[in-house]
Every structure is written in C-alpha cells, then in structure tokens.
C-alpha cells in the first residue's frame, strides 16, 4: 500500500418512481437540490471528505433534473428516475445492466487515477424503499422486518412503505438467484452504479468501502453475483435502518463503526477510510519488537 494513499468517494444520485406512493418524508426534488449542495461543497460528505483528505465525485445516475456541466459532476444518466415499481419493474433489464457497466467503468477510472481506496455513497429520495425491497429478497426476510423510517417518516408512512414493498415484490417477483433481476425490478440506477463499482473495484483488486444501508444493498447484490468480491469490501458503519443488520449478517461482514448514523451520502465511508488507512500504515511503518529492542515474552 503506497502512502499517502489516494482516496475517493463516488456519491451516486438518482430518483425513484416509488416516491409517488408517499414513502418519503421529503419531496423528490431534494435529490437534485442535494446534488447542487454537494457541488457547492456544503453537505456533510463535503465536510467529511475535506477532513479526511478524500476526493469526492458526484455521479448523476438517474436524477430527474438537467444539470449544467460541472467539473465534479459525472453525467451518467441511465434514466430520469426509475419507474414506480408498484406498477412494474423499476428499470428494464438493459438499463440495469447499463448502470452496472457504468459503475465498473468508474472503478477502472479510479485505478487509472491512482486511487488506492475507494468509497461509495448515495443520494436519492425514496431509495431506502428500494434498499429494503432488495434486502427482503436477498435475506429471505419479511418487509416489516427490514424496513425503517429512512429520512424520518411517521408511523402511517412507515406502514404504507411496508405495504408498497410487499406489493412490489408480489407484482414483480424478483428472482433471488439473479442479482440483476432484483436490481431491475426493485432497485434503482444509483444502486446499479454502486453495484458495478463494487464489482469493478474487486476486479481491479482495489479495496472499496460501502457506506451504510443503501450502499450495502448494492454491495450485497455484487457479492451475490460473485462471492469472492467480499474480500475487497469493507462496510463502513452500522446504519440505524433495521434492514442493515440483516444485510451485513447475510454477507458476513462486520461494520467498522456503530455511531447511530443514518445520513448516507458516503458520510460513514469517509470516517471509516481514516481507520482503514491507519491499519495499512501500522503494517508498513510500525517497528517490530525485534527492531525496537523489546524483550520477548517470558517463557
């Protein structure tokens, strides 16, 4: 591991048709508004990546808004928001494949830029609904076991969110054995790009840090496509979202942090990267007891 280690987080944004069902506390336009906030440097992820000396790039994977060109915004729009998955698949199979391919390309680009540690985060009003649906399928859970309050919905909205997921799975019947099918039917464009980033990072032998619940749902789809990908994957923190515990258990990885965070954007990944880099420095910089002239254990 070379030092200083170059670190990058891709914050992948997209909209979700399922917001029409009233599953989020915030209106859909918050997705594009927060993208502007990322580009201006005012969001939590900007503060934490500056603090951790981490490059941050924003990826438009499917936001329902036309952004003007910006040097930190990568325009990779697959859709202008997914379709409402209570009425049919969120993405076509071809769109799902394309989103994963975009992620694989971004991982390759990171390696080309000399990045040694990659992170993923996201922004997308409605995407905890998609992540809970994916978790339901991947972990053989019931929607009410793995669905939480996202940005902070009330009891009535939570009950509606659970029903929405039940209906989506009933209607679309995602095939547990086919991660791309799950992604297309109840996923989202940012989830597909992050899934591709995790696959691509492993292919490049580049360690990658998934942030919280939605990032881990994407990473779990990648691991479901090839279990060896797990060897390159860190889970940054345990989210407050109840589905996250089931997800990390299913891929048998332990989150590095447990700070009660639930923001997304890659904020947990930014904090965890400091610890991962510290571990690599201990391996390369620390004196052995022999080198330091320290006595051996007593017999």
Identify the residue among 20, 25, 101, 158 touching a second copy (CB under 8 A). Answer: 25
Identify the residue among 42, 113, 173, 176 touching a second copy (CB under 8 A). Answer: 42
Provide the annotated active-site residues: 265
Q: Is 275 in the site for a second copy (CB under 8 A)?
A: yes
- Phi, psi values for residue 7, rounded to 5°: -125, 145
Task: Assess contact for 98 and 105: CB atoms under 8 A.
Answer: no
- The residues facing 77 across adjacent strands are none
Q: Is 15 in the site for a second copy (CB under 8 A)?
A: no
In whole angstroms, how far apart are CA 199 and each of 4, 20, 43, 190, 256?
25, 31, 27, 14, 21
- As measured in angstroms, the least distance from the Cβ of 70 to a second copy is 16
Pair of tokens at residue 143: 């929607």
Number of residues near a second copy (by CB under 8 A): 43
- As measured in angstroms, the least distance from the Cβ of 258 to a second copy is 7
- As measured in angstroms, the least distance from the Cβ of 45 to a second copy is 10
- The residues facing 123 across adjacent strands are 13
Counting runs of H as helices and runs of E as strands, what totals does the chain give? 10, 6
Q: Is 52 in the site for a second copy (CB under 8 A)?
A: yes
Q: Given the complex with a second copy, which of 228 and 294 has the nearer CB atom?
A: 294
b/e 118-137 (16+ beta carbons within 10 angstroms → b): bbbbbbbbbbbbbbbbbbbb
What residues line the site for a second copy (CB under 8 A)?
Answer: 24-27, 29-30, 33-34, 36-37, 40, 42-44, 47-48, 50-52, 151-152, 256-259, 270-271, 274-275, 277-278, 281-282, 285-287, 291-295, 297-298
């Amino acid at each position: 591991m070379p030092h200083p280690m170059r670190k990058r987080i891709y914050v992948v944004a997209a909209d979700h048709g399922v917001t029409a069902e009233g599953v989020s506390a915030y209106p859909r336009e918050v997705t594009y508004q927060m993208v502007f906030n990322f580009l201006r440097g005012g969001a939590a992820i900007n503060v934490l990546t500056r603090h951790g000396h981490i490059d941050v790039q924003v990826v438009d994977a499917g936001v329902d808004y036309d952004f003007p060109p910006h040097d930190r915004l990568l325009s990779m729009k697959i859709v202008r928001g997914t379709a409402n998955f209570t009425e049919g698949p969120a993405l076509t199979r071809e769109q799902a494949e394309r989103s994963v391919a975009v992620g694989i390309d971004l991982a390759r680009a990171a390696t080309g830029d000399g990045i040694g540690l990659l992170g993923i985060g996201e922004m997308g009003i409605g995407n905890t609904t998609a992540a809970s649906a994916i978790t339901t399928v991947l972990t053989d859970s019931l929607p009410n076991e793995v669905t939480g309050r996202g940005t902070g919905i009330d009891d009535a909205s939570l009950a509606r969110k659970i029903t929405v997921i039940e209906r989506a799975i009933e209607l679309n019947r995602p095939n547990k054995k086919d991660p791309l099918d799950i992604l297309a039917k109840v996923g989202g464009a940012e989830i597909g790009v992050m899934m591709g980033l995790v696959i691509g990072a492993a292919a490049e032998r580049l360690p990658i840090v998934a942030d919280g619940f939605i990032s881990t749902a994407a990473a779990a789809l990648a691991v479901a496509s090839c279990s060896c990908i797990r060897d390159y994957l860190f889970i940054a923190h345990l989210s407050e979202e109840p589905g996250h515990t089931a997800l990390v258990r299913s891929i048998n990885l332990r989150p590095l942090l447990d700070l009660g965070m639930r923001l997304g954007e890659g904020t947990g990944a930014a904090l965890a990267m400091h610890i991962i880099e510290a571990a690599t420095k201990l391996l390369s910089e620390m004196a052995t007891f022999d080198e330091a002239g320290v006595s051996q254990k007593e017999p």
